[in-house]
Amino acid sequence: GRTITLLGLESSCDDTAAAVVRDGPGGPATLSSVVRGQAALHAGFGGVVPELAARAHAEVLDHCVEAALEEAGVALADVDGIAVTAGPGLIGGVLSGVMCAKGLAAATGLPLIGVNHLAGHALTPRLTDGLAFPYLMLLVSGGHCQLLTVEAHDRFRRLGGTIDDAPGEAFDKGARLLGLPQPGGPAIEAAAQGGDAERFAFPRPLLDRPDCDLSFSGLKTALLRARDALVAGQGGLTGRDQADLAASFQAAIRDVLAEKTRRAIRVYLETNPPRPALAVAGGVAANGPIRAALTALCAEAGVAFVAPPPALCTDNAAMIAWAGLERLRAGQTDDMTLAARPRWPL
């Protein structure tokens, strides 16, 4: 097909991002992906402060766009469309991105393409690995936890998801309980090195139910109790305790994700996909033991395991540009009435 180049913008949570992707005879390529985090801005508040995030997005979006175009060696005039996350997410941030994209579209006359942030994550393995539909997707981040089949760029079937916390949220809260830094996932993974994952028998919630739904909030409570029991008994946590608690907690999350994914694979395979594949997205997909468990699961089931590079698993704008490119190719564009949506299920 013809070569298409898209600029993408992302500002739905605490990262401001812009990227340029291209699809052509040589296959898809990420020409640039610029991400400006806001971690320092929100440090000390115990979470993302929506008002601060929205203002910071508005301030740095233009600069991200300039940097992404420059890094890609592409002029705005050579782009075929402007894709932007239109939801779901923190409404102030989403609005900042949508307004910036509308400004660029109005100034250039280029098509404006609103993208669902979750669709961006879910379509990433097509950008990075050229994955064909239908594939199974495990989306595990700080805000999301879903198992879905991706049947087309605009057709998703949800097989299950969390009924309470997302696993990244559990890692982050768990790290706080153990006195470890944020983001909690990498901190717990590091602290768990050499820890005894069997010392604490943390629950594996919902495994008694046959569906693909998951739960992580009880795990956090179990970690709190185990920690408090140790503190009450001996006045504090030793390094050994911290490692064992982290390892046991991480193993519980790994087991729940692996078992529910195993069930999702079974449901997915019933549809006889020609080239069965499981792809992951979201920050939690960077976790070594979780990746190892999923890899083993896929090998056993005869399903390809596809893990995009970590920088494209976490929030970025290349995934938004790519999802926009797929929409544009299908003739799906938006106009100046494009709205920012705080909630927008796939």
Number of residues that bind ligand KG4 (CB under 6 A): 19
Q: Please report whether residue 174 would count as binding ligand KG4 according to CB under 6 A.
A: no
In angstroms, what is the minimal distance from the CB of 50 to ligand KG4? 15
> The tokens 């090195």 sit on which residue?
193
Write out 189-220 in H/E/C secondary structure.
HHHHCCCCCCCCCCCCCCCCCCCCCECCHHHH
- Closer CB to ligand KG4, residue 110 or residue 286? 286
**Closer by beta carbon to Zn ion, 115 or else 214:** 115
Q: In the structure encoding, which two tokens stand for residue 64, read together?
A: 């991200």
| CA trace torsion 295, 297, 301, 306 (10° rounding) | -30
- Tell me the closest approach of the beta carbon of residue 240 to ligand KG4, in angstroms: 21
Say whether residue 315 binds Zn ion (CB under 5 A): yes
* Residues near 101 by beta carbon (within 8 Å), at least 6 away in sequence: 9, 82, 83, 84, 112
Nearer Cβ to ligand KG4, position 28 or 184? Answer: 184
* Sign of the torsion formed by the C-alpha atoms of 326, 330, 334 and 340: negative
Rg of the chain over CA atoms, in angstroms? 21
Query: Taking the complex as a whole, how short is the minimal distance between the CB of residue 345 and ligand KG4, in angstroms?
Result: 16
Rounded Cα distance between 287 and 185, Å, is 7
| Whole-number Å distance between alpha carbons of 192 and 250 | 8
75 phi and psi angles, rounded to 5 deg:
-90, 150
x/- map, 135-154, Zn ion, by CB under 5 A: ------x-------------
| Among Zn ion, ligand KG4, none, partner that 184 touches (CB below 5 to 8 angstroms by kind) | ligand KG4
* Max CA separation in the chain (angstroms): 68
How far apart CA 324 and CA 74 sit, in angstroms, is 17
Q: Is 87 in the site for ligand KG4 (CB under 6 A)?
A: no
Point out the annotated binding site: 117, 121, 139-143, 172, 185, 189, 287, 315
Instruction: Name beta bridge partners: 34.
Output: 18
Stretch that binds Zn ion, among 102-110, 227-235, 286-294, 314-322 (CB under 5 A): 314-322
Of the chain, the end-to-end C-alpha distance in Å amounts to 28
Instruction: Let me know: does 125 contact 305? Beta carbons within 8 Å.
Output: no
What is the x/- site pattern for ligand KG4, positions 29-68, by CB under 6 A?
----------------------------------------
Residue 286 interacts with, from ligand KG4, Zn ion, none (CB under 5-8 Å by kind)? ligand KG4
Instruction: Compute CA distances 306 → 199, 200, 264, 278, 311, whole Å.
Output: 32, 32, 16, 6, 14
- Shortest Å distance, C-beta 330 to ligand KG4: 26
Where in 142-161 is the site for ligand KG4 (CB under 6 A)?
142-143
Q: Which does 172 bind (CB under 5 to 8 A by kind): Zn ion, ligand KG4, none?
A: ligand KG4
Closest residue to Zn ion: CB criterion = 315
Which pairing describes strands 155-161 and 29-37: parallel, antiparallel, or unpaired?
Answer: unpaired
The reply to whether 184 sits near ligand KG4 by the rule CB under 6 A is yes
Q: Binding of Zn ion at residue 165 (CB under 5 A)? A: no
Considering only 33, 96, 141, 215, the residue that binds ligand KG4 (CB under 6 A) is: 141
Angle between helices 239-269 and 184-192 (to 10 degrees): 110
Per-position x/- string for 275-314, each x denoting binding to ligand KG4 as judged by CB under 6 A, each - no binding:
-------xxx-xx--------------------------x
Q: Alpha-carbon dihedral of residues 294, 297, 303, 304, nearest 10 degrees?
A: 30
- Residue list for the binding site for substrate: 139-143, 172, 185, 189, 287
Please report, as ranges, the residues that interact with ligand KG4 according to CB under 6 A: 13, 141-143, 168, 171-172, 183-186, 189, 282-284, 286-287, 314-315
Please report, as ranges, the residues that interact with Zn ion according to CB under 5 A: 141, 315
